[in-house]
Structure 1
Amino acid sequence: MKQCILKAISVALPLVLKTKGKQHLSILIYHRVLPEYDFMRPSEPTIKEFDWQMSLVSRYFTPLSLARALELMDRGELPENAICVTFDDGYADNESCALPILKKWKIPATVFVSTGFINGGRMWNDTVVETIKCAGEYIDLRKVGLDEYAFKDSESKRTVAQKILTEIKHREVGQRAETVDFIESLAKQSLPNDLMATDQQILNLDAAGVEIGGHTVNHPILAKLNDARAEQEIIDGKVHLESVLSKKLRYFAYPNGKLGDDYLESQVRIVKEAGFEAAVSTTWGVSTRNSDRYQLARFTPWDKSPDKFLLRLLLNQKSVKL
């Protein structure tokens, strides 16, 4: 019965939306695939959830590598429901948890890596999340311009962590690092240092056919940097990964990824001049042959049931990014 519903959605909705036959490229954006549910990261799929998501992608879409999709787009030969799968940041579970499922469903992927956190580092946001996760009933962050917070349950911890992340993510990189260091100093236990990929895991992904792309060094809000510093972030990350892989990096993902808020038009030019062939944003929608190759749209449904996931993904095809 469930398969019949899914098939009906996949057939009827493109006709209703008038997207059938249009050469639209959907690009999914992920960060992590978790071994099991984490109450601090409810939007991150578990292995089980990612498996049924990729089964839908395999069954109702045409999965392509980013390189193949852009080649076909240029030739006007993009197939119906073309889709690419991408991951941001460079988490270890991209290799340990996501890769076996990608192989199972024969789905290509691209992983965009922020080089400053790999090999035993930790993304700044994970430091915040992990500190709040192991906190007691109270934490005082007034010394770094935040607030004092009380926790009564897991939901309040999750809410506070998200509030803190929102408040500090646009701080200057050095100030953000100082804030995060202070927060970490209040942690009730040692924080995990194996969340990000190692060079060897990046090589394993590459050997399995996963495209590795650039994502800066420190995952800054590029719009907060002058062009010289933005260029250094973009190029230094590219150089590091090219030295690991012994090959040229072709694609780039803007950290956070919203034009104006997170990156600027001048930085799009930097990405082009750095030698990248294309770049992806986090603006919802789909891309076409007429879309800016250096600001491709990305989107991922957050639904926890297959029918809603498929429905939202098909609805997204109505939003074309130019």
Structure 2
Amino acid sequence: MKTSNMIRSAEQHGAAGAPLLEKSLLSLLSPGGRRGLSILIYHRVLPRKDPLFPGEVDRAEFSDQMAALASRFNVLPLLDAVRMAKAGTLPPRAAAITFDDGYADNAEVALPVLQQHGLHATFFVATGFLNGGRMWNDSVIELVRAAPDGVLDASALGLGRHPLHTLAERQRAIPALIGQLKYLPMAERLAQVQRLADLAGCALPGDLMMTSAQVRKLHAAGMGIGAHTVNHPILARLPDAQAREEIAQGKLALEDIIGAHVSLFAYPNGKPGEDYLPQHVAMARDLRFEGAVSTSWGASRGKPDPFQLPRFTPWDRGRLRFILRLARNLTNSAQLA
């Protein structure tokens, strides 16, 4: 049966007939050996819905997704999956769960849910934001959230004027500002964000990211800890020596925190050929990681490159749609740098 027909059949049978059809479909697309590893990316798991970002996963949705994943896939620690893929011993319907950046809710909200469902995840942590730091894009989000009603006039900064009278206007202002700042050199971007915060005139939170103790909590619970640089720069925009230093120092800082070897790396932003380049893949190999992950959607074809493993962001909220989105992802070929 063709993949598209199997997907339609699962949709038509609904909840009663879906599990068997879903497993059959996933086994076809994810046969094991070296092929068919699904790696999921999460960033945050909120304790409750955020009106500013209603699409962000909260505790209840995350628990539903983990239940569906556990019942349909063979969920593995990512490091084990990398080693199995190299050896050609992946089981059918292999999957791994990852988190990027190092948000505090990973340890306080996501971890108990993972433990409840008996699942393992790997947490890629940017060490420069631990212990009270904040990623620049979160500074933009939080200053727009907290700014008083009116117009945020950032035209003097070359960033335009942004009305903030309604929730919808705030939702539009956030991507508009982030889009203008994202690919500036890091120092210039941080300076612009600070100027924006001064314009908004509001205090920003200092507890969005994990503490070192929370990183150790994840490690002590048996979760994987992976490197994600120090400052989360776009590696392709840095001189090679600086890029290597970001990768190496992030790895060393995490090893010092958890007292163990860090074997996996996630490229910041992670788009092949745009955010990282072949020389950054070589750096990850040289720094003795065992594998690295991108944000390229799709599946590896043929023998996967363990230093450019594709990952998938699951956005569908319904259980069946969530599983079928994962199945469709396996039909796409991932890009490489």
Task: Tell me whether 1:67 sits opposite 2:79 in the alignment.
Answer: yes
Question: Counterparts of 1:105 and 1:288 in 2: how far apart (Å)?
Answer: 30
Aligned-residue offset at 1:2: 5.7
1:171-200 alpha-carbon deviations (Å, 9 max, x no partner): 100011101111121334321110100000
For the structure 1 residues 196 and 57, does the alpha-carbon distance in structure 2 shift closer, same or farther, using more than 3 Å as the test?
A: same
Q: 2:123 aligns with which of 82, 87, 111?
A: 111
Task: Tell me whether 1:265 sits opposite 2:278 in the alignment.
Answer: yes
For the structure 1 residues 33 and 12, does the alpha-carbon distance in structure 2 shift closer, same or farther, using more than 3 Å as the test?
A: same
Gaps of 5+ in 1: none
Alignment of 1:142-153 (within 5 A): 142-153=155-166
Q: Secondary structure at the match of 1:279?
A: strand
TM-score, length basis structure 2: 0.90
- Residue in structure 2 matched with residue 211 of structure 1 by the alignment: 224
Q: 2:296 aligns with which of 254, 278, 283?
A: 283
1:283-307 alpha-carbon deviations (Å, 9 max, x no partner): 0012366111111000022112112
Task: Tell me whether 1:30 sits opposite 2:30 in the alignment.
Answer: no
Aligned-residue offset at 1:275: 1.5
Which is worse superposed, 181-190 or 157-166? 181-190
Q: Secondary structure at the match of 2:200?
A: coil
Question: Counterparts of 1:178 and 1:20 in 2: how far apart (Å)?
Answer: 46
Amino acid at match of 2:258: L
Question: Counterparts of 2:326 and 2:169 in 1: how far apart (Å)?
Answer: 30
Aligned-residue offset at 1:12: 5.3
Amino acid at match of 1:19: L
Q: 1:21 aligns with which of 16, 21, 31?
A: 31
Which is worse superposed, 90-99 or 285-294? 285-294
Q: 2:94 aligns with which of 60, 82, 96?
A: 82
CA contact (8 A) 1:73 1:289 kept: no
Question: Counterparts of 2:301 and 2:108 in 1: how far apart (Å)?
Answer: 33
1:203-241 alpha-carbon deviations (Å, 9 max, x no partner): 000000111111011111111101011011111111111
Task: Tell me whether 1:139 sits opposite 2:149 in the alignment.
Answer: no
Aligned-residue offset at 1:43: 3.4
- Residue in structure 2 matched with residue 302 of structure 1 by the alignment: 315
Amino acid at match of 2:234: I
- Residue in structure 1 matched with residue 5 of structure 2 by the alignment: none
Alignment of 1:118-267 (within 5 A): 118-135=130-147, 136-267=149-280
Question: Counterparts of 1:144 and 1:247 in 2: how far apart (Å)?
Answer: 44
Amino acid at match of 1:40: L
Question: Counterparts of 1:235 and 1:40 in 2: how far apart (Å)?
Answer: 36
Q: Secondary structure at the match of 1:126?
A: helix
Gaps of 5+ in 2: 1-12
CA contact (8 A) 2:132 2:211 kept: yes
Question: Counterparts of 2:221 and 2:126 in 1: how far apart (Å)?
Answer: 20
- Residue in structure 2 matched with residue 53 of structure 1 by the alignment: 65
Q: Secondary structure at the match of 1:70?
A: helix
Amino acid at match of 1:238: K
Amino acid at match of 1:39: P
Amino acid at match of 1:72: M
Question: Counterparts of 1:46 and 1:128 in 2: how far apart (Å)?
Answer: 21
For the structure 1 residues 20 and 146, does the alpha-carbon distance in structure 2 shift closer, same or farther, using more than 3 Å as the test?
A: closer
Q: Count the aligned residue pairs.
A: 320
Aligned-residue offset at 1:265: 0.9
For the structure 1 residues 155 and 36, does the alpha-carbon distance in structure 2 shift closer, same or farther, using more than 3 Å as the test?
A: same
Aligned-residue offset at 1:151: 2.5
Q: Secondary structure at the match of 1:287?
A: coil
Question: Counterparts of 2:145 and 2:123 in 1: how far apart (Å)?
Answer: 27
Q: Percent identity?
A: 42
Question: Counterparts of 1:20 and 1:85 in 2: how far apart (Å)?
Answer: 16
Aligned-residue offset at 1:72: 1.9
CA contact (8 A) 1:131 1:186 kept: no
TM-score, length basis structure 1: 0.94
Q: Secondary structure at the match of 2:330?
A: helix
Question: Counterparts of 1:186 and 1:9 in 2: how far apart (Å)?
Answer: 55
Question: Counterparts of 2:77 and 2:300 in 1: how far apart (Å)?
Answer: 15
Q: Secondary structure at the match of 2:265?
A: strand
CA RMSD of aligned residues (A): 1.7
Question: Counterparts of 1:165 and 1:77 in 2: how far apart (Å)?
Answer: 42
Aligned-residue offset at 1:44: 2.1
1:4-59 alpha-carbon deviations (Å, 9 max, x no partner): 253155145448xx525353100000000001111233332000000000001101
